[in-house]
Amino acid sequence: MKKVPFKILIYLLLYYLSVYPVFAQVEAISGQGYFNEFKNSEGSEERFVFFFNTPNRYSENSAYDWLDAVNVYLNNSEKIKDSLAITHYKLVQSQIHHDLGDYDKSLAIAKELYGNKESLDDDTIAMLLELMDITYSKLELYADQIEIRKEKKELGIDENVAFYDIYSALGLHRDAMNDYFRQEKKNVGEKDYYGQAVFWNNVGTYLRLDKSYPTALRNYKKAHGFVNVYLNDVIADKSDKQETDSKVLRAIIDGNIGKCHVLLKQFEEAIPYLERSIDSIKVYNAGIFSSELVENKLEIAGCYLQLQDFEKATDYLSDGTRPITLENVLKKNRLLASYYDRTNNFQNASIYYKRNMRIRDSIKENQSDLRQQQLAAVVGEDKADAERMMEEQRAALEKSKNDMIAKDEKISLVFISLIFTLLGFAGLVYAYLKSIKNQRLIAEQKHIIENSLIEKDSLLKEIHHRVKNNLQMVSSLLSLQTKNTRSKAAIEALEEGKSRVKAMALIHQKLYQHDDLSVIEMQGYIESLINSVQSVYKKGGHKINITIDAEDVELDIDRAIPFGLILNELVSNSFKYAFPTSEDDGKIYIHLRKIADQDGFFEYTDNGIGLPEDTDERANASMGIRLMNRLVNQLQSKLNIDKTSEGVRFWFNFK
């Protein structure tokens, strides 16, 4: 082999040293200038593909710079009426607004494109529907999100349409986790480390939202281990986007681990995870609005408040981060109020407390709560129909399989039956999708009606609450009067009046605590009433066994108040007079039955010393018996009294 002359080697070395800086400069520009490379691309299609395939595209230039450039290209395309370019730039424009957290603007542009979807190719429609899907989720418009996902399935864009995240957003966290685990676990390969990390992170999130914090923490750490294995696997061929996505996923998992530690009151353990998550999201998700970033900053501010490090807490609370969701707005106001409260700036603390009170009491929140109830019903119906149809299809296929194995000679007949079954299934799907439009119209009308009913229920609850408070005030006034009265008879009369007032107050308390304001559940009311009477009359040495049989009986307020006052009189008399000695083994039995469209029946018995012989003469003079007779008359009935050898029995029928 010939040797290369030394002089030639010197010339080659000098040439390399002269051109190396140029190559280095070109490489630096191509590696870092995403925005310039976007602008230097040829035509709308090339820019469109480059934009959506570039990870961390806002690392050097902000999203606003990209938006300004896209607006210029869009205006030029509209002038020359280039419909394809207009579509490309509007979809990019919608994505940038979404990245900035301006979801309303993003959705408005996407809807405009959606109106002309017939002119779009399949790939563009898929990207548009995916963007609309996540934007509806951010805006909590779950009914519209469901429609988009159904369309994705109809167009073959996504065969496995699921609603786990919607169920969880509506508060059905445990159902979401169970369905997600059952349907998705089998689709994640054992060596698919990235897929395993995503799966266990989602399971952990459902458990955390369901307040199973220790179990959620274990699943998050399992996800953290899988994503680290994926990132450290040098054999696997990963694109730049996959590398960036996995690092963002690890940052999200770090934040979730920190949140679990916060919920477990382990504030010092939470801070390193939250800080690492914040730093990574800023680097690998630069320029994109991130709800995880906002939540992590609020969580770490709360940790420093708990640790009395107010300086670091204020650094995170005043860094200009703007929460978008109502939950994060309330949380930031609550943290600021807590900070000012701890630093004795009570005036500012009061301002933030009042802001949260106004938000909670706003009509929008009430409407949001009602909307969630309606959407929960829609999702529940959709889930039930889907499961039923899947079960029908599974049964039909299983039947066909068994018939073919058992009867080979009838295979053609079984095949025809299967075809008819599938046609019937398709007809059910078509009828269901067609009925969705009608259901939406009905839901809008139902929304208006239920909104009025909720407002009415809120007012009724407030009225019952105030009536209860007023009755308690009357009871307190009677107590004060008792302390200033020396007459034993007057004191007893005041105590009896106080007990009757408490019985009526308890009615109103049960009403505003019950979801149905029209009726009162009598079993719980009677138990509460007896506890109130016992606290006044029962002595420590007495052994009185009380049996209440009023399960599943509900009465309206017009009947419940007379019943409450009658029971108050009967129980009070039993405690005061029926068992004079502490050795008595007292028994009280209360029986109440009411069946719809039939007469009700009430019975009260005790095994005490019974009524005196001159009960009939005393009835006209006794305040208690006269009161009970009048109350029974209000129930359109007559009070019956039976004297037995052991105690007494009161009973009557009522409408």
| Rounded Cα distance, 508 and 472, in Å | 11
Residues 194, 241: Cα–Cα separation, whole Å: 13
Task: Give the per-residue pLDDT at 176.
Answer: 83
Half-sphere exposure of 520 (CA within 13 A, CB side): 27
pLDDT of res. 406: 76
Task: Give the pLDDT of residue 393.
Answer: 64
State how far the alpha carbon of 420 is from the alpha carbons of 83, 389, 425, 431, 432, in Å: 45, 14, 9, 16, 18
Q: For residue 590, give the H/E element and its range.
A: strand 585-593
| Cβ contact 562:635 at 8 Å | yes
| 246-251-252-253 Cα dihedral, nearest 10 degrees | 90
Backbone angles phi, psi at 257, to 5 degrees: -60, -45
For residues 35 and 69, what is the distance between their CA atoms, to the nearest angstrom? 9
The residue type of 439 is Q
| Mean pLDDT in consecutive groups of 10 residues from the start of the chain, 655 residues | 43 41 37 80 90 87 90 92 91 91 91 87 89 87 83 80 78 84 85 92 92 92 93 82 90 94 92 92 84 88 90 84 78 85 83 76 54 55 57 72 74 77 84 82 80 65 66 74 78 74 71 70 87 72 81 86 87 83 81 82 89 64 80 89 81 88
Q: What is the pLDDT of residue 13?
A: 44
Task: Please write the tens of the pLDDT for every residue from 427-471.
Answer: 888 888 888 887 887 888 888 777 766 666 665 666 666 666 777
pTM, rounded to two decimals:
0.52
